[in-house]
């Protein structure tokens, strides 16, 4: 769950009384924008995106205006602008008007959980701005600290002195930056970044650090973020009805992160685990309808509702239902598979059968029991399937799903459709490609096969 920009970031920063630039939202009137321009001698006009969206400055998606006509021209240009970053595309929904902050010094500051130090880590430099990623390491200080004692003034002071920062910026930063640890620690954040912090001169040339941009990530499994009373829709990456329905199921128990990859994809892959999600999303590419992570040991009812929503939006267009994850430590495979199987049965009862091939790869507690429940359901629905155990290479299982997708496109859908309409046609689906032999011989404890031999009626031989 990520958040960018000052439209909501100012609300968080004000909770710890950290100075922030004046901001007007998309609903601002002409008179309000004029008043802000007059007060601050100009405004920055920035598009509002949902979720975490980066590289806006380098993409030229920030406008600067010194009069109302120029501000309105930037508003028209950026209000619904589309922005492509990495392999994702985001569409803006409105703009903010942020008052200019005069300053000679810009500072970059962040707090994040570091896998290197196994501790929260402060990153700081007085060379802030859009070029921060291009700075050499000797101009940036990374300081891990004890989460029990938190970020202290001496952490900030020592880091800035090591960097040789100007003396006039050290004292104001030492006084204000430790407040951000309170925000980070008390509201379930996993990353907080301010770039830039502009050092605005005041009375007697005393400098004040003013946050001019905000980026934050939240730990979905930590309920502390709910105390911020932020609407769930601001964490979605898009306005799709599918994502909105899934996001309403966010709870402290079980994850429900989704992202639409290709609305015209042909493989729907409910995925369990962040590592599996990264691998599967990369290998499936444009064939995938969604990217998802439904781990965290979700209870039956939540997994049933998640599956029901996923099937409602994506099953009709899909060739393959690909249920995939690593070997779980604490997720009850029986509960999750029972919920998904029941949701699949419910979909067929409500909407009628649809030609579909089911590929499953999973490991964890109650594996055999869960696979048996899923197998019985698929047999009842007359759907072809292939099930892989925990010792199958995940990349090979993904490749098998891609092969099945191609076969379904060529002839599989028509063959499976005939099975639904012809009671005596159980043996029609006979041409599905075989998976790599090494990847389809896995077993689970007790000697029972973990991978299915296709539908019992010879459907995948």
Q: Which of 81-90, 258-267, 361-370 has the lowest mean pLDDT?
A: 81-90
Characterize the bridge pairing of strands 320-327 and 271-272: parallel
Q: What is the pLDDT of residue 419?
A: 82
Q: Which residues pair with 258 in a beta bridge?
A: 292
- What average pLDDT score do residues 431-448 get? 42
Q: What is the pLDDT of residue 220?
A: 67
Domains in the chain: boundaries: 2-6+8-13+102-234, 22-100, 240-440
Place of tokens 């011989």: 441
Under CATH, what is the fold of the domain 2-6+8-13+102-234?
Answer: D-amino Acid Aminotransferase; Chain A, domain 1 (3.30.470)
Place of tokens 């007060």: 39
The per-residue b/e assignment along 58-74, b for 16 or more CB within 10 angstroms, e otherwise, is eeebbbebeebebbeeb
Going by pLDDT thresholds of 50, 70 and 90, the confidence category of residue 233 is: low
In terms of Cα–Cα distance, which of 41, 51, 47, 43 is closest to 4? Answer: 51
CA dist 56 and 53 (Å) reads 7
Residue 188 neighbours by CB under 8 Å, 6+ apart: 218, 219, 222, 223, 224, 225
Characterize the bridge pairing of strands 290-293 and 357-363: unpaired
Q: What is the pLDDT of residue 85?
A: 64
- What average pLDDT score do residues 185-192 get? 90
Cα dihedral 128, 130, 136, 138 in deg (nearest 10): 10
22-100 and 240-440, same CATH topology = no
Asked whether the predicted pLDDT for residue 438 surpasses 50, the reply is no
Asked whether the predicted pLDDT for residue 163 surpasses 90, the reply is yes
Asked whether the predicted pLDDT for residue 108 surpasses 90, the reply is yes
Tens of pLDDT along 387-427?
998 888 888 999 999 999 999 999 999 999 888 876 554 44
Sign of CA dihedral 334, 363, 365, 218: negative
Cα dihedral 62, 68, 72, 73 in deg (nearest 10): -70
CA dist 397 and 410 (Å) reads 20
CA dist 212 and 98 (Å) reads 8
Helix (H, G, I), strand (E, B) or coil at 125: strand
Asked whether the predicted pLDDT for residue 434 surpasses 90, the reply is no
Q: What is the pLDDT of residue 423?
A: 59
Q: What is the pLDDT of residue 160?
A: 95
Q: What is the pLDDT of residue 166?
A: 93
Q: What is the pLDDT of residue 252?
A: 39
Q: Is the peptide bond before 339 cis (omega within 30 degrees of 0)?
A: no
Characterize the bridge pairing of strands 23-24 and 95-99: antiparallel
Cβ(259)–Cβ(237) under 8 Å? yes
The dotted CATH code for 22-100 is 3.30.1490.20
CA dist 272 and 264 (Å) reads 22
Q: Which CATH superfamily is domain 240-440 in?
A: Succinyl-CoA synthetase domains (3.40.50.261)
């Amino acid at each position: 769950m990520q958040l960018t920009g000052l439209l909501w970031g100012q609300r968080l920063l004000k909770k710890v009384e950290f100075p922030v630039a004046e901001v007007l939202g998309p609903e601002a009137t002409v008179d309000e924008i004029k008043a802000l321009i007059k007060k601050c001698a100009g405004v920055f006009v920035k598009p509002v995106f949902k979720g975490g969206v980066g590289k806006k400055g380098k993409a030229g998606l920030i406008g600067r205006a010194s009069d109302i006509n120029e501000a309105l021209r930037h508003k028209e240009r950026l209000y619904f602008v589309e922005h492509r970053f990495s392999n994702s595309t985001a569409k803006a929904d409105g703009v903010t008007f942020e008052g200019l902050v005069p300053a000679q010094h810009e500072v970059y500051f962040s707090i994040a959980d570091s896998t290197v130090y196994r501790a929260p880590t402060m990153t700081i430099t007085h060379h802030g701005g859009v070029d921060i990623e291009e700075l050499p390491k000797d101009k940036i200080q990374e300081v891990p600290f004890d989460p029990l004692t938190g970020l202290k003034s001496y952490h900030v002071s020592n880091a800035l002195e090591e960097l040789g920062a100007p003396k006039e910026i050290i004292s104001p930063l030492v006084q204000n930056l430790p407040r951000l640890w309170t925000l980070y620690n008390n509201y379930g954040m996993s990353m907080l970044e301010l770039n830039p912090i502009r050092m605005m001169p005041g009375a007697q040339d005393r400098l004040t650090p003013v946050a001019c941009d905000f980026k934050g990530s939240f730990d979905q499994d930590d309920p502390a973020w709910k105390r911020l009373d932020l609407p769930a829709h601001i964490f979605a990456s898009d306005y799709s009805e599918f994502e909105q329905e899934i996001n309403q199921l966010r709870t402290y128990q079980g994850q429900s992160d989704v992202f639409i990859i290709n609305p015209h994809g042909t493989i729907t892959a409910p995925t369990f685990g962040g590592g599996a999600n990264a691998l599967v999303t990369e290998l499936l590419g444009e064939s995938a309808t969604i990217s998802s992570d439904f781990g965290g040991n979700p209870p039956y009812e939540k997994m049933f509702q998640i599956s029901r929503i996923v099937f409602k939006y994506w099953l009709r267009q899909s060739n393959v239902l690909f249920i995939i994850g690593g070997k779980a430590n604490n997720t009850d495979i029986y509960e999750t598979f029972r919920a998904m199987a029941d949701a699949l049965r419910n979909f067929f009862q409500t909407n009628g059968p649809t030609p579909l091939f089911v590929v499953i790869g999973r490991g964890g507690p109650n594996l055999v029991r869960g696979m048996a429940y899923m197998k019985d359901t698929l047999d009842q629905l007359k759907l072809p399937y292939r099930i892989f155990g925990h010792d199958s290479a995940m990349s090979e299982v993904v490749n098998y799903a891609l092969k099945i997708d191609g076969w379904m496109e060529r002839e599989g859908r028509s063959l499976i459709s005939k099975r639904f309409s012809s009671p005596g046609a159980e043996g029609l689906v006979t041409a599905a490609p075989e998976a790599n032999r090494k990847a389809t011989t896995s077993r689970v404890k007790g000697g029972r096969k973990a991978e299915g031999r296709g539908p019992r009626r010879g459907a995948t031989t």
